[in-house]
Amino acid sequence: MTLLDHQRAQERTEAAEAHQKDEKHGLLITKKDAKAKPPCPPTKKLRSQAFVLDQMRHSMKFFSPERAIDESGGYFHFFAADGSIFDADTKVLVTQARFIFSLSVAAEHLKDPKYLKAVEHGVSWLATGPLRNKANGAYHWALKDGKPTSSKIFTYGLAQCLLAYAAALRAGCKAAAPYLNETWETLETRLFVERDGLYAEEASSDWKIDKYRSESGNLHMTEALIACYEATSDQKFLDRALLVADRICNKAAGQTQGLVWEHFDETWTANLEFDNDNEALKIFRPWGFQPDPVPGHQVEWARFLLTIDRHCKAAGQARWWLLPKARFLFDVATDKAWDDEFGGLCYSIDLDGAVCNGDKIFWVQCESIGTAAMLASTTGEDKYWQIYDKLWRYSWDKWVDHEHGSWFRRMNREHVPYFTEKTKLSLCVDPDFHMLGAYAGCLTFMNDAGVA
């Protein structure tokens, strides 16, 4: 056994000993009590760029290059609550791509060269390593011990790859440029359906397209296309982002009272009775509005619409509908899904605005924080700063892991955690991708508005 192997084995043992099973609730809890929470900063500090940068550092304290880099290739993907690695042998496409994105945003905003070095390491492995499916030009969905466990092709996964390469290039990793172009061309020829102006969601490994359609893959394509435009200034990426956003947020959402539904058939007719029986995909395809907590994708779309609006205005191509639609999606989500009794935004709502599932999940809260700051900076309306303040105070109390860094992941309505790991297969594959994206949006729009 090598020294590294011994260290990993010890980390797994310590992680296992640090947790015990709560037989009554079926939940994992830690034996060690968390350190006392520091007081939430005052309003003036909460609304500052310095505070947002501190929260970026807090995320990267946990998902640091020193901890995350796997010298044998890529990054480690599965971390216990304290940061120890509990599964060094499983690699997931989405996690690898999201790591690159998070580290790229850190490289841009935190100005430490170690982040760019980590990005370059991750790009090389994503582009040329065992996640690549050399037989079809795409990527495997997941690996175990270096071997593929699933090779089905998802627009969601390719969108994450496109975003990773674009964010890396934007941060200064020039080696990402050819892979950005290659991924764009693959999506363009294989999964973009011109008559719809949208992307199909999935295909077999021999590129046979399934009839299922999803807003989720198109949402992340929009995010990736925005990043491509920011990295290259190529107008085709902004044009496509605008087209996809219009088709989802206006045309498709016209079937569901203006809100973005998640599941559709081949004709882009909303499937209101969708039932996902694939356990591995439930975090991406649950019932109801969006994958995971319902307000999340309304709010995330609002963030991207605001960003597109900013770029269109700068290019002299303003579109009247972008800001009003962003406000509508954000306002409905944060109003209807807010839990007045326990706090936080709930998992899902129905078309009448009633809460279907009161569970809470971290990324919905942080996405809403970012979008609230962007709306406040864009509109000048204090109500959005008040929502921002409320979400931060709630999240500071319930979600921020003040001891280890990053945030906790998923809890029931009363904020009892379902698991304590920061990343966990089929339950959370996010190395603070949502946080870093939301914080970057905060900083950009605060800067535009002259908020120091």
The rounded distance, in Å, linking the Cα atoms of 106 and 76 is: 18
Q: Any idea what DSSP says for residue 106?
A: H
The rounded distance, in Å, linking the Cα atoms of 212 and 284 is: 14
The rounded distance, in Å, linking the Cα atoms of 342 and 334 is: 15
Residue type, 94: V
Examine the residue annotation and report whether 434 is marked as an active-site residue of this protein. yes
Q: Which of 297, 311, 402, 404 is catalytic?
A: 297
How close are the terminal C-alpha atoms of the chain, in Å? 52
Q: Please enumerate in sequence order all residues whose Cβ is within 8 A of that of 42, keeping only pairs 6 or more positions apart, or say none.
A: none
Closest Cα partner for 280 from 448, 150, 399, 173? Answer: 150
The rounded distance, in Å, linking the Cα atoms of 167 and 18 is: 36
Q: Please enumerate in sequence order all residues whose Cβ is within 8 A of that of 72, keeping only pairs 6 or more positions apart, or say none.
A: none
Backbone angles phi, psi at 345, to 5 degrees: -95, 130
Q: Any idea what DSSP says for residue 357?
A: E
Sort strands 142-144 and 192-193 into parallel, antiparallel or unpaired.
unpaired
- The partner residues of 411 in beta bridges, in order of sequence, read 360, 417
The greatest distance separating any two alpha carbons of the chain, rounded to the nearest whole angstrom, comes to 63
Residues designated catalytic: 297, 434
